[in-house]
Amino acid sequence: MGRRFKKVIDRGHGFVFKYDSTDPTILHNFARHLTTEQDAIDSFFDAEAIASRIWNDERQRFEQFSATHGLYWFWLDEGASDVMVISCFKLGGQA
């Protein structure tokens, strides 16, 4: 079975999420980290996370951290409106 993705539009950006390879009925972020699309979107727009945003040249991705979540992502298009979410995960003792 080929790769499958889900796209969510929020505040003028398209956020693309990959379905999990082990269980293609759920998204990778939820299967691996128990985080939702909304967790990733909220983290993307979080002011603290934006201030922490860095480009990881070795991994070709942005990395940013809010008080509660880490987010790894990259732009899918040159117009910088579509975001590929690589991973969103809870920080610290978050359940």
Residue for token pair 């298009």: 77
Burial of residue 51 (CB within 10 Å: 0-12, 13-18, 19+) is exposed
Given this model, what pLDDT does residue 93 score? 59
Q: Which pLDDT score, from 0 to 100, does residue 39 have?
A: 97
Residue in 88, 62, 13, 20 with CA at minimum distance from that of residue 5: 20
CB 73 within 8 A of CB 85: yes
As given in the structure block, the two tokens for residue 69 are: 């979540």
β-pair type (82-90, 54-56)? unpaired
The residue ranges of the chain whose pLDDT is under 50 are 1, 94-95
Predicted local confidence at residue 1, as pLDDT: 43
